[in-house]
Every structure is written in structure tokens, then in C-alpha cells.
Chain A
Amino acid sequence: MEKAERETIKAPSDNRYYSAAEVEDVAELDRTWASPTGIVGWFQVVNHSNIGRRYVITAFVFFLLAGVLGLMMRTQLMQPEMKLLHPDLYNQIFTMHGITMMFLFAVPVMEGLAVYIVPLMLGTRDMAFPRLNAFGYYVYLLGGITLYVALLFGIAPDAGWFNYPPLASSEFSPGMRVDIYAMLITFIEIAALVAAVELVVTIFKQRAPGMSLNRMPLYVWSILVTAFMIIFAMPVVMVASMFLAFDRNVGTHFFEALSPAGQGPLLWQHLFWFFGHPEVYIIFIPALGIISSIVTTFARRPVYGYTALVLSIVATGFLGFALWVHHMYTTGLPQLGLSFFTAASAMIAIPSGVQIFCWIATLWGGRPQFKTPLLYVLGFFFIFVLGGLTGVMIASVPFDAQVHDTYFIVAHFHYVLIGGAVFPLFGGLYYWFPKFAGRMLSETAGKWSFALMFIGFNVSFFPMHNLGLMGMPRRVYTYIEGLGWNDLNLMATVGAYVLGVGVLISLINVIYSAINGRESGPNPWDSDTLEWACASPPANYNFSPMPAVDSLHPMWDMKERGVRPAVTGVRTDMRQVLTTTLMDARPHALSNLARPSIAPLLLTGAVGLGFIGFLFSINWLILSFFLAFFAIVYWNYPRYDERTPPWKKEGENGN
């Protein structure tokens, strides 16, 4: 529209002038997309930004809980023969620390962030299946709470996060603990899977017109690859843990140690690590996307080697499935197999190296601004490269046989996971917080937090390499005097507390800035992708009108050209979005999305009853199968007014 035609109505949310027609559109969109309020309403919300925010907040709560468990372990190990934690409790604590970090923090936080950011980056109004989104969140929440209730009652899983039989068999782990592991892991993975399908479909079908695959932001690419990895990895751990649950409860013989060749327990290891190794990349690949976004924005230039980066993300996704046996080097597998997996493990260094060099080249050729998000990325470079180096070391069989199950491994995977996922995630938190909250985080507090986390992390985990080489096994609840481990353990504990203080500063920063921070406006960093085109925080409908794009950097183009392309003709009186073709993102249909509903909560209740009830009797599982059917019918039952808003009911029924 012409500038002269604009009315002088200024919306406080994004500080933009609207014409009279636009004001009407926006008011109608507000009505159409409004989330229900009240306590019952809270359970009916389906909007992706609400669900995404819940995911991220819940995941950080679990991160803090698991962090506290980690500090408890470090305190116990501070000196030889400490009496702080009983060995039985210690077993539960290290198991819960691992389970929480892997299943309740890392995967959900990455998916939750994607649920929030991806639709904004794609320029659409919601995800493809909004109710499914809400269902995934409730499943995750219920599963997480149940695990922590079990910890409070002292019946939390205690056989390690990878839970090997025969230790995890009913013979050596009687009672409910391992059953809780088996059922709740299966249950929680449902959440991971539905979010993955939803992300794939949204990325495939709801990109803004013109956002062909080669104009898709790298973050979206990374989420697409991650979602596919979840689809092919998670079902396998569900099969494994259901087998285990049946072994323990109805007397099946899947993982029986007494099989003639004694290979039953190794079936568990194969199934578990076929999931478990891709899991590492499921956590790490979204971080690659976060880093690409941050590096592009703060280097003030397009990323170097877009195609190479996309190809290496995809290659990492494929190679991630060919590595699982390197967790099993000490189980006596055939030499040929070991050689193959050694080669594959070393090969993963190639795409990782390509990525690191592309980012360095981007920073080299740009004008980097060293804001907090970029500092976290630089911290990632340092820590992750060190973790990668020890990774190349333990990819070789003889070295691995030496350090297997020692603190060297603990050091390695914390370098890879904290360096590879937590640092980029904190960078992403500082980067996208203005979008979540409409306010800036404090830079000073951010830099302090980064410095303490970086120093604390290295002081805590670097000595563990040496402890491992000196022979300290992992998962011991204490050690005796005179082994020469005292000083390094003390150092690790001090480092852990420094790391904790660093995290705490960020926590306080988030809470304080959410209330008192400087207002950010829609695009505080002058970034290039579409999530910065809408208001901060985004309205429920995200965009009005829906955007179109013709390059990889829509926001920078817009600044250059002085106009931004938009889609018109999408209805504002129903939750409607545009769907586009898979490759070229040409518009080809409109899609009406589901409205808020209580059905996701009912289905969660039905499914949860089966999985939690199984701890007591298998009949609950059968009952829940049928209850779930009724919940799904209720969920999908067509309502004639579904397709038309209530005030236009007459004449349009049956569409």
C-alpha cells in the first residue's frame, strides 16, 4: 500500500503503522487465533509459540534439577570416602542425571526451541498439527514428573542411563525401578516422535512462497535432519525397552544371559546404541543450526559455504547411524566389524571439520560483533574441538579398550555434549530471548555467565581425562585414600560449582530481564531470517499478512529494497495457512488448522494410564489401547462448524 494511505494507528507490539483494512484484519486474526484462558483453557492451548515456550521452560527446569544431581555427585566425590550419599542413592542419582539430561532436557529443549522458532523462520502461522504439538508436550511433562516422583520415593531407576541387562534384569534389579525406566522411556519417546513428524511436515509443506530448499535457513535444515534422525532412531529404543519390560514382567527371554552363546544381553546393547549414538547427533545437529544463525548475524555477512554446510549436516545425519558399535568395542565383537566402525567413527570428523572451517571463514570475512551469543559460539569451538579430539582417540579400538568405563569417557562425552549442545543452546537463548520476551537480556550478566561457565566447565571436566587415564572407573560412589586421585577430584568439584554459578547468573538474568529488560523491538540484532519480521513476542497468528521470500536473507533484502513481499487472500476468520510445494515452495493449497481442544490432554491421560499402569498390571496397557481409541475419535470427530467460524455458520455448513 502507499505510505499516504496509511492510518496513524500505531500498534504497540511491533511499532508499525497500519492501514484501516489492516487494522480490521489484525483484529479478526486476534479473535480467530486467541488462545483459551483460565485453568481449563491452559490445557486447551495449541498455539506453537505457547507450546514451544512451555517445552523450553520445562526442559530448563529439568536441566537445573539434573544439574543439582550432578553437583550432589561432585560433592560426594570431592574427597575420598565421603559419607554424604548412600551408594544406593548414588546409583539412582547418576542414573537420573543421565536420563534427565538425555531424555528430559537435551532432546525436548532442542525440539521445543524448534517448535517455537521454525514456524516463524518459515513465515507461517502455526505448525501443521497444532493439537499433536500439545499432546507431545503433555506426554513429556507427565513422563518427566513421574520419574521425579519416583526419585522422591526412592524408587528411581538405578542401572545407569543405558541400563544394560543382565544388571537390569528382574534377577539382579528386582522391584519397580527398572520397570519405571523401561515404561517411561518408551512413553517419553512418544513426545519426541510426534514433535519430529510435526516438524518434518511443517518444514516440507508450510514454507513461505519462494523459500525453495536452497533458500531455507540453516537452522531449519538442521532441524529437518534431526527430525528424520529421531524418526529412525527413537522407535528402536522403544522396542528395546518394551522387550525389557516384557522380560521383567511376563517372562519373555529376549535379553536372557543364559542363552547358549550368552548373547542375549548384547541384543540390548545393539538396539540401545542403534538409538543411543544417533541420539548424540540428535542433540548436536540442532546446535549446528543455532550456531549458523548466530555466526551469520554477528559476522554481519551471509554464511560462507551454505551448500557445503547443508551437505555436511545431512552427511552427519547419515553417518550418525553407522557408529553405534563404537560403544561396544569391549564386548568381543568380530574384528572386521570393529574395523568398519572405527573407520566410520573417524569419518564423522570430515563433515564436522567442514562446518568448523565454514564458520571460521564466515567470521574471518565479516565484521564480528562479540555479543554474548557469539561468545558462547566461540566457547563451543574450543570445547567441542577438544571433545572431538578425544573422540578420534577413543574411536581406535586399542585405546578405547584401555579407557572404557573410566572417567576419560565421562570427560569426553561431557566435552562433546556440553560443548556441542549446551553452549550453543545458551548462545541461542541469549540470541532468541528478545523474540520470546520482547526484552533484551543483560549483556554484562551474559558475559559474566559465559566466562564462569567456560572456566568452570574446563576446570571441572579437564581433570577427568587424567583421572580416567589414572584408572578411576566411572559410576563409583567413592574411592579410597592414596590412589593419587584426591587433588584432581577436588579440582573437578570446585569447577562444577563455578559452572553452577555461571548457569545461575543466566537464570537470574532471564528472570530479571523478562520483567525489567530493555525493550527489544522486532529485530534487535538486525538479523537476516524471517522470525525477526514479526513482533516480539509474536502475536498468536505470527504474521499479518503472511510473508513471501525470494532469497536466503529476506530481512536484509527488505532493508535494501524498501518493500517486503507478502501473500494476500489467506482468510483471517479461520485458522488458515498456505501450503506450498516440497522443493520450490510454490503455493498450491490452503490448509485449515485445528482449533484449541482438550482432546490432547485426554489422549495423554489414556496413553499415560497404560504406561504407568503397566508398572502394576499389564491389563492397564490393554485398557489404555481402547481408551486411546476413544480419545482419538473425540479428537478427530468432525464438527461442522470446524471449517467455518461461528458467526458465519449459515450457508457455509458442510465445507
Chain B
Amino acid sequence: MGIRADEVPFVGAYDASHLSHFNYHDEAPMWWGFWGIIMIETTVFAALIASYYYLNLSYPEIPPAGVKKPDLLMGTISSLVLLSSSYSMHKADSASEKGDVKTLKWGLLVCIALAALFLILKVFEYSKVEYRWDSHAYGSIVWGIVIFHSAHVTSLVLKTIFIAYLSWRGYFNKDRHLGVTINGIYWHFVVIVWIPLYLVIYWSPRLF
């Protein structure tokens, strides 16, 4: 004993002054934060898929007798549109890492256009569906999944409009592009999570 803990002198163990405060990828808390939100949302989508199959097993026939199976052609076309947006987001993101602001600016606009096209195709497709969410349990879960995912795509569009606005204002450069990167990660997530949802909605009734 003898020494009072609060009177103990410090010794320099590490000098941090040379470290950068621009963080990229796993250096940045924000990057990890977005993986957190992706884990949460993955759980939500998993619960939706589990509910789909639970209801599938609870009813003798899903979709119910007399209801047409989902339109495979329309669903596939719109899915391909959404998938292609991930490619242009990847282009925009890697351009921003190299400091290629021009590709970034136009790449983001292409992303927004593709996502908006996906939404328009979805509205077109589901306006022709003859059942609604309150028709039967199958309608409830299918509309639930589609609306929930479309809300995500809408939020992607809104977020990316903001990011595009900043990049047209010249905010992003070679050093400062974390905002583009994490927006991109979330974009890829919303696109990739559509693949299992697409398989569940369009292929599952045909296979089982």
C-alpha cells in the first residue's frame, strides 16, 4: 500500500498524434455501426421468411386455391434491375476511393434511377394482383414482405439522393468518402436480401 492510486504519475505508453482521423472500413466505428443495423434487419427479414413458411405449413394450400401464382417474368425482370444497381453502386464506391469524383457523381445517379425503376415495376406488378393483404393469410405475408422491402428501397433512394447531393456539392474526395462507403454497404445489403425474398415469393410456390 502506501501509494495513493490517484497520485500515481503517468508514463507515455503510446503517442497517437501521428494517427489519421480519416477512418476507412473497419477502422471506422460507423462502418461497424452499419453492420449492426444490417444484423438487425437480417433478423427482421429472417422472421418474415420464417412466418411465410409457418403460414405455408398451416394452410393446406398456399397460395389458396384459385389464386394465381406470382408473375415470374415481372418478378425476375425487376429483380435483375435491382441487382444491376448494386454493380453501379460498386463502381461509384470504388471510384470515390480513388478520388474519381466524376464517376462517383454519375454512378450514384444511375443507382437512384435503377432503384426507382425497380419501385415502379413493383407498383405496376402488384397493382395487377387480384388479392390484397386483407384477402387471406397468403396475401398478408406476401404484401407484408413486398411492402417492407420496398420501403427499404425507398429509403435507399432517399439516402442516396442526399449522398449524391453532397457529392455534386464536392463534399467527397480521396480522403473523405466514408459516407459513400457505408451508404454502399447498406445498398448492397438491401439488394442482396431481396434474393432470398425473391426465391421465397416467386419460386417457393412453384417448387413446393
Residue of B13, B29, B143, B151 near A579 (CB, 8 A) is: B29
Beyond the given A200-B36, A567-B15, please list 13 additional residue pairs across the A-B interface where CB-CB is below 8 A: A236-B47, A239-B47, A251-B134, A252-B139, A254-B144, A267-B54, A522-B6, A562-B9, A564-B8, A579-B27, A579-B29, A589-B27, A591-B28
A587-B16 in contact given A251-B133, A566-B11, A633-B162 (Cβ < 8 Å): yes
Residues of A within 8 A of B48 (CB): 239
Pick the interface stretch among B38-46, B79-87, B88-96, B195-203. B38-46
A564 contacts B16, C-beta separation under 8 Å: no
B residues near A (Cβ < 8 Å) are 1, 3, 5-23, 26-30, 32-33, 36-37, 39-41, 43-44, 47-48, 51, 54-55, 57-60, 133-134, 136-137, 139-141, 143-144, 151, 154-155, 158-159, 162, 166, 171, 179
Would you call A578 and B47 a contact (CB within 8 A)?
no
Chain A residues packing against B (C-beta within 8 Å): 1-3, 14-17, 128-129, 132, 193, 196-198, 200-202, 204-206, 209-210, 231-232, 234-236, 238-240, 243, 246, 250-254, 256, 259-261, 263-264, 267, 270-271, 274, 521-523, 526, 532-533, 545, 548, 555, 558-559, 562-570, 576, 578-579, 582, 587-592, 625-626, 629, 633, 636, 638, 643, 655
Q: Chain B contacts of A200 at CB under 8 A?
A: 32, 36
Of all chain A residues, which has the CB nearest B134? A251
Please tell me if the beta carbons of B33 and A129 are within 8 angstroms of each other in the complex.
yes
Chain A contact residues: over half helix, strand or loop, or mixed?
Answer: mixed
Given A246-B140, A579-B23, are A567 and B14 neighbors across the interface (CB < 8 Å)? yes
How distant is B16 from chain A, measured CB to nearest CB, in Å? 4
| Residue of chain A at shortest CB distance from B51 | A267
Q: Do B21 and A254 have beta carbons less than 8 Å apart?
A: no
Min CB distance, A653 to chain B, in Å?
12
Name which residue of chain B comes closest to A582, CB basis: B26
25 residue pairs from A and B, CB less than 8 Å apart: A129-B33, A201-B32, A201-B36, A232-B43, A235-B43, A236-B44, A236-B47, A252-B144, A253-B136, A254-B140, A267-B54, A267-B58, A558-B8, A562-B8, A563-B8, A565-B11, A568-B15, A568-B16, A568-B17, A587-B16, A589-B27, A590-B19, A629-B158, A636-B162, A643-B21
A267 touches B29 (CB 8 A): no
CA distance A2 to B155 in the complex (A): 57
Alpha-carbon gap, A461 to B31, bound state (A): 47
Asked if A253 and B140 make an inter-chain contact with CB atoms under 8 angstroms apart, the answer reads yes
Evaluate contact between A254 and B141: CB separation under 8 angstroms: yes
A261-B58, A576-B21, A587-B19 are known contacts. Are A271 and B47 too (CB-CB below 8 A)?
yes
- Residues B21 and A564 in contact, CB atoms below 8 Å apart: no
State the Cβ distance, A492 to closest chain B Cβ, in Å: 38
- Closest B residue to A633 by CB, please name it: B162
Residues of A contacting B39 in the complex (Cβ-Cβ under 8 angstroms): 231-232
Question: Are the CB atoms of A563 and B136 closer together than 8 Å?
Answer: no
Among A239, A545, A564, A643, the most chain B Cβ lie within 10 Å of the Cβ of A239
Give the shortest distance, in Å, between A28 (CB) and chain B (any CB): 15
Let me know if B6 and A523 touch, CB within 8 A: yes
- Chain B neighbourhood of A3, CB < 8 A: 9
Contacts of B32 in A (CB 8 A): 128, 200-201, 204-205
Question: Are the CB atoms of A209 and B6 closer together than 8 Å?
Answer: no
Residue contact B8 to A569, C-beta cutoff 8 Å:
no
Q: Shortest Cβ distance from B43 into chain A, in angstroms? A: 4
Asked whether, in the complex, the Cβ of A564 is within 8 Å of the Cβ of B140, the reply is no
Among B39, B41, B57, B143, residue most surrounded by chain A Cβ atoms (within 10 Å): B39
Report how far A563 CA is from B11 CA in the complex, Å: 6
A567 to B54, CA, bound (A): 55
A259 in contact with B8 (CB, 8 Å): no
Q: How far is the CB of B2 from chain A (nearest CB, A)?
A: 9
The residues of A that contact B41 with a CB separation of less than 8 Å are: 235
A498 and B91 CA atoms in complex are apart in Å by: 68
Contacts of B5 in A (CB 8 A): 522-523, 526, 532-533, 555, 558-559
Task: State whether A564 and B171 are in contact (beta carbons under 8 Å apart), knowing that A197-B33, A205-B32 are contacts in the complex.
Answer: no
Contacts of A263 in B (CB 8 A): 54, 57-58
| Chain A residues in 8 Å Cβ range of B179 | 636
Q: How near does chain B come to A78, taking the closest CB pair, in angstroms?
A: 43
Cross-chain contact B43 with A236 (CB below 8 angstroms): yes
CB distance from B51 to the nearest CB of A (A): 6
Q: Is the CB of A563 within 8 A of B6?
A: no
Q: How many angstroms from the CA of A274 to the CA of B32 in the assembled complex?
A: 26
Per the bound structure, the CA–CA distance linking A655 and B21 in Å amounts to 9
Say how far B177's CB is from chain A's closest CB, in angstroms.
12
Partner of B13, one of A202, A521, A566: A566
List, in ascending order, chain A residues with CB within 8 A of B20's CB.
Answer: 589-590
A-B pairs with lowest CB-CB distance, top 8: A569-B17, A565-B13, A251-B134, A197-B36, A252-B140, A128-B29, A566-B10, A548-B13
Q: Closest chain A residue to B140 by CB distance?
A: A252
Once the chains bind, are B151 and A625 in contact (CB under 8 Å)? yes
Contact B37 A197 (CB under 8 A): yes
Given contacts A239-B51, A246-B140, A271-B51, contact A521 B6 (CB under 8 A): yes
Given A1-B9, A521-B6, A545-B10, A591-B23 contact (CB < 8 Å): yes
Q: Known: A14-B6, A521-B6. Contact between A201 and B40, CB under 8 A?
A: no
CB contacts (< 8 Å) of B12 on chain A: these are: 565-568
Beyond A193-B40, A250-B133, A250-B134, whether A569 also contacts B15 by CB under 8 A is yes
Residues in chain A near residue B30, CB distance under 8 A: 129
How far apart sit A267 and B5, CA to CA, in the bound complex (Å)? 57
A264: chain B residues within 8 A (beta carbon):
55, 58, 137
